[in-house]
Structure 1
């Protein structure tokens, strides 16, 4: 594994992030008022995209794809993810279970659709343009912290699940000590942010750090949701699911220039699920290699991200087909409300 190539990606991301921060904090106040008000949103959007790339590097550390040394991966991952208010080890272990159980109705960790009997009473009131706008807005802004803190949109557990709880049902006994380490990392960053607020003011911290972090969180939810939600992607119950089928129940998407900023995690996601310890700089090469092998089992959606997001909110999907092996066990989704915390999802048993 070429640690130098990874370090170059890491250094490049941090250099750009620091440069943006430096320009914003040293020069924006010199601009006339109209330009200053315009410059800050541009900074926040661009910085959020760059920090999403940093998040992806930390994600690679969680997969032991950063270096040949697990300890080095965990140190880098802990520092980077803590800086983005992500409990590194907590997420690492739940994300590993997601990769182990992708596409399983019973065991996948996130965006597990509900069966018809699990539809919440208020879902029908969200099935309209205004409801979809509210739903998408809440999901993109609060979805990630709500998932970490309250397991919103996560798989059901027998008791309350939280990524910050070392004794929660998500983790095994041997993992609990590292959850404390993750929590300590978050507390350290929060302590630093507190002192920044005292020194610089709340508005400064929100503009420089808070809004870019909000952009990062929004992209995390958007990317994860769209890579695992598509009319052609099945979910399997326990009688039909296996690891390979689940890994192939993902879709690659084109984010334009952002795919480079995000280290191609968006357009090589199928390969990532097949080879999760593979460094991102080999992902494009691997994707080109697996396409002819997978044939129709490789999925790529050319729909633009904005259009795809809107379509998930207004279209109803009814996918035909039948399991080759067993009936009543493969489920495809009819979706009428996009990205809700408790989506209105109707399941058709084929």
Structure 2
């Protein structure tokens, strides 16, 4: 029986079994989960291209009052490009590395994501999932860090942990993926190549779009669909690693098996979103092994539920879920995973 999202006052979820290791979890999965299938991989590409084309057709022909729906649909379809690039970053799209690199660059190019920079940062997240002060994807600040980081950083953090969570990945994108100096020297040539690819794309595509459709055309055809994509980029990352009963752990307490199996959360979304986004929401098996292609994630998830169901957390995407996360899951608190900004402010006022 799988676990569901638990309310803030509930007991923290943990592995509570030192004999459960990553090796045992991975070995429990069917070998078919790891098999690459070129037909399925390229079918995902076709689905995304057709979905994006349909979205842009809707933008072109929709009356003004339907444009928000067209933008949101197109942003969701564009997320499919990210998921394909995501598989390429994990070398699970194709057997040949150069194919993964080429397809990854092409898919992430219109999203203005430098492929290698994102690949390296994201793989670091997989190695250090839910490791406090180390994980680079939506880790919570400690109360001491929050109080000492200055008004600008604290303000930005408060914004993206609250009701404006959906702009969080834009801040992450801007801060982390273009400065090759923050990467190891051996990776800097790859980062520079990927930055050059997206800069060249932007230098050609954006002026062309503005010259042919005007500034409004740039906003209408690129910026707003791109923000729709970032809504999902932010939402997937936040929801799939944040719950009131799922704790980030300091390094001396951190356990990789617990982090990947218990610290990752499966979330069900409406079918058309999971279809366009290639099952990125089936997130637990992806953290158990990045070698599983996106089209095999559901098979792997069913296996994990069968063998490790007591540790598998499933939830459903709705307003209540987002309200719980954005109201309660703010600052790291060792006893109950999170402390809200209101709790922290009240505690500070009492001291």
TM-score where L is the length of structure 2: 0.79
- With over 3 angstroms needed to count, the CA separation of the structure-2 counterparts of 1:106 and 1:315, relative to structure 1, is closer
Q: Does 1:166 align with 2:193?
A: no
User: Is the Cα contact below 8 Å between 1:236 and 1:331 reproduced in 2?
Assistant: no
- Structure 2: give runs of 5+ residues left out of the alignment: 1-35
SS in 1 for 2:338: strand
**Cα drift, residue 216 of structure 1:** 0.4
State the match for 1:202 in structure 2: 215
Q: Does 1:95 align with 2:107?
A: no
Between the aligned partners of 1:316 and 1:200, the Cα distance in structure 2 is 42
State the match for 1:265 in structure 2: 280
- Name which of 301, 316, 322 aligns with 1:309: 322
State the match for 1:155 in structure 2: none
User: Is the Cα contact below 8 Å between 1:231 and 1:318 reproduced in 2?
Assistant: no
Provide Cα deviations, 1:146-205, integer angstroms capped at 9, x if missing partner: 21222xxxxxxxxxxx3211111xx21211001001111121121121222122211012
- Structure 1: give runs of 5+ residues left out of the alignment: 29-35, 151-161, 321-329
- With over 3 angstroms needed to count, the CA separation of the structure-2 counterparts of 1:72 and 1:285, relative to structure 1, is same
What count of residue pairs does the alignment treat as equivalent? 302
Between the aligned partners of 1:145 and 1:259, the Cα distance in structure 2 is 22
- Name which of 313, 319, 338 aligns with 1:334: 338
State the match for 1:77 in structure 2: 104
* RMSD of aligned residue pairs (Cα, Å): 2.8
Within a 5 Å distance, the mapping from 1:12-51 to structure 2 comes to 12-25=47-60, 27-28=61-62, 36-51=63-78
User: Is the Cα contact below 8 Å between 1:312 and 1:335 reproduced in 2?
Assistant: no
Within a 5 Å distance, the mapping from 1:156-305 to structure 2 comes to 162-168=176-182, 171-191=183-203, 192-248=205-261, 249-257=263-271, 258-266=273-281, 268-302=282-316, 304-305=317-318
User: Is the Cα contact below 8 Å between 2:328 and 2:339 reproduced in 1?
Assistant: yes
User: Is the Cα contact below 8 Å between 2:114 and 2:197 reproduced in 1?
Assistant: yes
Within a 5 Å distance, the mapping from 1:54-69 to structure 2 comes to 54-69=81-96
- Name which of 166, 180, 195 aligns with 1:140: 166
User: Is the Cα contact below 8 Å between 1:232 and 1:319 reproduced in 2?
Assistant: no
Between the aligned partners of 1:198 and 1:317, the Cα distance in structure 2 is 44
- With over 3 angstroms needed to count, the CA separation of the structure-2 counterparts of 1:264 and 1:122, relative to structure 1, is same
**Cα drift, residue 107 of structure 1:** 1.8
User: Is the Cα contact below 8 Å between 1:271 and 1:283 reproduced in 2?
Assistant: yes
Between the aligned partners of 1:313 and 1:280, the Cα distance in structure 2 is 28
TM-score where L is the length of structure 1: 0.79
